[in-house]
Amino acid sequence: MSKVLVIAEHDGANLNGSTARAVSCAADLGLDAVDVVVLAADGSAVAEQAAKITGVSTVLLVQNPANENAVAAILAPQIEALAADYSHVLAPSTTFGKDLMPRVAAHLGRPQISDIMRVESATVFDRPVYAGNAVITVEAPEGLVIGTVRTASYKAASNDGSASVETRSVDATLPSHTRFVGLESGGGGDRPDLQAAAKVVSGGRGVGSEENFKAIYSLADKLGAGVGASRAAVDAGFIPNDHQVGQTGKIIAPDLYMAFGISGAIQHLAGIKDAGTIVAINKDADAPIFEVADFGLVADLFEVIEELEKAL
């Protein structure tokens, strides 16, 4: 029997949404079962959430005070002990999974497939290289497959499952050389960080001025979105350059990207090509941004912002 184990990402209280995306990828493998493991100090609440993910057979709950915080060197030996029952072990390709999985793989003498974006078969995968400018199709060598799942490539599995939760104890020696000191949540202020934001509202030269950018900020705050800008807007002095999205600025992959008054130079598009849904609002119907936008609206951006704010 071939089974896949997905490592749950959580903060002790809530399951991170990336887990359900990794489960979607695991389901694509077409194996006999998808199990999820929750490693926590007190993980029953998280395990219950994981049990609801559609397609999960069993949730393994491994509780240990050492698992209070997700420290790779401490979690890795526990996963290694569990891996013997599985043909595949996957984790989301978040900083959590990226930190943890290679440590597991190396101990077990296995290579790792990073950032799986498509499953072709149980051993053949697509993954991006060169910052997404090329995609390679790779075949894992025979034996245990260890990988991380590019979350932007998978929709979260839905939430109507009812897996059983099994408490497990694992026999592993845990190191004491790594101590968690603290976590300071990012962003600084209420507005999410551009690179981490699930939604981004972005303005271009069409916004017209620094003063006018207030409308962009206002909409962003209403949506709980980060604020981005095209290089033209940055060059024109409308907004500081740490907001710049594109080849020379930040490369981002939010679920929703709303571009206001951005023409869509290729340099800008290079920074958003992995966005989930792109919405473009521009007066110029010929603007290149419409060639990549999922939803385009030819209109005055200020009127659109006003109406959107009312509708939200």
Contacts with other proteins in 5-24 (CB under 8 A)?
11
Q: Are 38 and 59 in contact (CB under 8 A)?
A: yes
The verdict on 278 binding other proteins (CB under 8 A) reads yes
Amino acid at 1: M
Pick from 174, 147, 197, 204: nearest CA to 71: 174
Stretch that binds other proteins, among 31-39, 54-62, 160-168, 271-279 (CB under 8 A): 271-279
CB of 163 to other proteins, least distance (A): 23
CB of 36 to other proteins, least distance (A): 19
CB of 140 to other proteins, least distance (A): 6
What x/- string results for residues 100 through 119 when contact with other proteins is judged by CB under 8 A? xxxxxxxx-xxxxxxx----
29 or 163: whose CB is closer to other proteins?
A: 29
136 or 164: whose CB is closer to other proteins?
A: 136
The verdict on 66 binding other proteins (CB under 8 A) reads no
57 or 309: whose CB is closer to other proteins?
A: 309
Q: How many CA atoms lie within 13 A of 47 on its CB side?
A: 22
Residues 238 to 257 in contact with other proteins, rule: CB under 8 A? 241, 247-248, 255-256
Quick one: 218 exposed, middle or buried, by C-beta within 10 A (0-12, 13-18, 19+)?
middle
CB of 290 to other proteins, least distance (A): 6
Q: Are 148 and 98 in contact (CB under 8 A)?
A: yes
55 or 111: whose CB is closer to other proteins?
A: 111
SS3 readout for 253-286: CCCEEEEECCCCCHHHHCCCCCCCEEEEEECCCC
The verdict on 81 binding other proteins (CB under 8 A) reads no
Q: In whole angstroms, give the CA distance from residue 252 to residue 270.
A: 9
Q: Are 20 and 157 in contact (CB under 8 A)?
A: yes
Residues 26 to 65 in contact with other proteins, rule: CB under 8 A? none
164 or 222: whose CB is closer to other proteins?
A: 222
What x/- string results for residues 209 through 228 when contact with other proteins is judged by CB under 8 A? xxxx----------x-----
What x/- string results for residues 118 through 157 when contact with other proteins is judged by CB under 8 A? ------x---xxxxxxxxxxxxxxxx--------------
Residues 168 to 187 in contact with other proteins, rule: CB under 8 A? 175, 177-187
Would you give the DSSP letter of residue 71? -
CB of 15 to other proteins, least distance (A): 14
Pick from 294, 233, 306: nearest CA to 265: 233
| Residue 202 phi, psi (nearest 5) | -130, 145
Quick one: 240 exposed, middle or buried, by C-beta within 10 A (0-12, 13-18, 19+)?
exposed
